[in-house]
Amino acid sequence: MAAMVAKRSSVVAVRSLCRMYVLSSASPASSRLFRPGQALCAYSTTKHPFQGGNGTTEGDNGTSSPTGHLTMSSSSKQLSTADIKKIPDAEVRKSVFISQSNDVFTNLALEDWIYRNFDLTHHHILMLWINKPSVVIGRHQNPFSETNVSALARNGIELARRNSGGGAVYHDLGNLNCTFFMPRARYDRKYNLTLLTRALYREYGINAELSARDDIVLLGKKISGTAAKLGQPNAYHHCTLLVNSNKLHLGASLEKDNVEITSKATASIPSPIKNLVDVNRTVNIQQLLSAIGYEFLRTPATQLTDGGRELLMKQRGFQLINPTDKWFPGITELRENFASWDWRFGKTPNFSVQKTIQLKSTTAAHQQEMKVKVDVEKALIKEISLILPNHEPIPVVSDMVGRAYSEDCFHGIAEALKGASTENMQQAMGL
């Protein structure tokens, strides 16, 4: 870290030399080259920014997509782990993709598209993205165990399920998301996280650390959570960075319903959190985004050393990405899948919900408690049962069976049963 202090003052000069391209719905010929903090200056080209001087993609051993990206070929899929590890850092180029969408489902689709289609053998990618308020759960989680889904809907906050594991996180415009793409053989979570801490120190003098659980912590509080998708031949590792997130909304959005849920789904581990602005008021999303991007580009593919200006000039630079079908064919369909009820809720592992209610009675001495139990399969109500003390559960015939489960639905059932008296309930149950 000490060696980085002397270089902080020169970072702006280095940055001004790095390429930045805009990938939008406009024609590739209208790409523009600009320097951070300066007005746009026109740059005309008939080639896509990923293409070399002969109009083909640099290092092309595969197939170019309509965007010019190098997509996976049969030869790249057949490379062994040992072969990939033998590729020297000097042959690996890097790109920073900055998504221009703030829609959580679009960004998850873009992430998935890159993971499925890119040949990352000689090209590592960092995707930076920011979402409007949303709660994102892990692939194997139960949304009803992590948040109050009904309350989210009332507050206009999206609930999304990602393709990686891990716990639930809250996103808003004060939170920066980082996704590192690389071949599975080159997956190194600590490299990625250390790169982020180096960027924080170089730009702001913030000395963050890695926890035993691979979270980034600052003064004992979590500023970044992490998860990964490990496939073949590609992998990605993504994490959050709390910059200036609304902590009141974060806490409320991750507040669960006051019921007893029995589930085998992966549970989140709550941690105290901190925003970066809590320790340095000058931190802002756009400056941090730039700092992380430059740290990624100036760092060799596998070694945490500073390649400085020389390495920076060899990279593919920053690309502003407009995630549309024109550039990423099929991404709209991927987005629809991520936004679908079947993916967000239908993938929920089976669970049961219980709540104790107090039945009415003609005398206080005969007041009795009863449990309402709802069994849920694929997020649909499978069975409703009533449980009195020292008795077996008794099924309830209801038209609610087969409907989508929600907290509001469950409390509607419980409220309806509260109106029954102990005597009437025992008579109806044959007790």
Long-range contacts of 321-326 (CB under 8 A, 24+ apart): 321/23, 321/97, 321/98, 321/99, 321/100, 321/110, 321/127, 322/23, 322/24, 322/25, 322/100, 322/101, 323/99, 323/100, 323/101, 323/106, 323/107, 323/109, 323/110, 323/113, 324/25, 326/25, 326/66, 326/67
Percent of the chain with pLDDT over 70: 77
pLDDT-based confidence at residue 286 (cuts at 50, 70, 90): very high
When pLDDT is averaged across residues 212-241 and rounded to a whole number, the result is 95
pLDDT-based confidence at residue 56 (cuts at 50, 70, 90): very low
Choose among 320, 311, 286, 290: nearest CA to 21. Answer: 320
The predicted pLDDT at position 398 comes to 86
Residue 21 pLDDT greater than 90, yes or no: no
Tokens standing for residue 324: 């549309």
pLDDT-based confidence at residue 391 (cuts at 50, 70, 90): confident
Q: Cβ distance 127 to 104 under 8 Å?
A: no
The predicted pLDDT at position 195 comes to 98
| β-bridge pairing 234-242 and 175-183 | antiparallel
The predicted pLDDT at position 304 comes to 97
Average model confidence (pLDDT) across the chain: 84
Q: What pLDDT digit, counting tens, does each position of 136-174 carry?
A: 999 999 999 999 999 999 999 999 999 999 999 999 999
When mean pLDDT is compared over 45-49, 56-60, 355-359, the highest value belongs to 355-359
The predicted pLDDT at position 417 comes to 78
When pLDDT is averaged across residues 14-32 and rounded to a whole number, the result is 38
Q: What pLDDT digit, counting tens, does each position of 171-192 carry?
A: 999 999 999 999 999 999 999 9
Tell me the backbone φ, ψ of residue 88, rounded to 5 degrees: -70, 150
Percent of the chain with pLDDT over 90: 70
User: What distance in Å separates the CA atoms of residue 194 and residue 378, rounded to the nearest whole number?
Assistant: 39
The predicted pLDDT at position 396 comes to 85
User: What distance in Å separates the CA atoms of residue 344 and residue 73, rounded to the nearest whole number?
Assistant: 32
The predicted pLDDT at position 233 comes to 94
The predicted pLDDT at position 24 comes to 38
Burial of residue 347, with CB atoms counted within 10 A of its CB: 0-12 exposed, 13-18 middle, 19 or more buried? middle
Q: What pLDDT digit, counting tens, does each position of 304-354 carry?
A: 999 999 999 999 999 999 999 999 999 999 999 999 999 999 999 999 999
pLDDT-based confidence at residue 35 (cuts at 50, 70, 90): very low
User: What distance in Å separates the CA atoms of residue 62 and residue 79, rounded to the nearest whole number?
Assistant: 13
pLDDT-based confidence at residue 240 (cuts at 50, 70, 90): very high
Q: What pLDDT digit, counting tens, does each position of 122-140 carry?
A: 999 999 999 999 999 999 9
The predicted pLDDT at position 78 comes to 72
The predicted pLDDT at position 11 comes to 46
**Residue 393 gets which letter from DSSP?**
-
CA–centroid distance for 180 within its chain:
12
Residue 58 pLDDT greater than 90, yes or no: no
The predicted pLDDT at position 79 comes to 84
List of E strands, 290-368: 317-321, 351-358
The predicted pLDDT at position 189 comes to 96
Residue 209 pLDDT greater than 80, yes or no: yes
Q: Could you tell me the domains of the chain?
A: 81-345 (3.30.930.10), 351-429 (no CATH)
Coil/strand/helix, residue 129: strand
Residues 6+ apart with CB under 8 A from 430: none
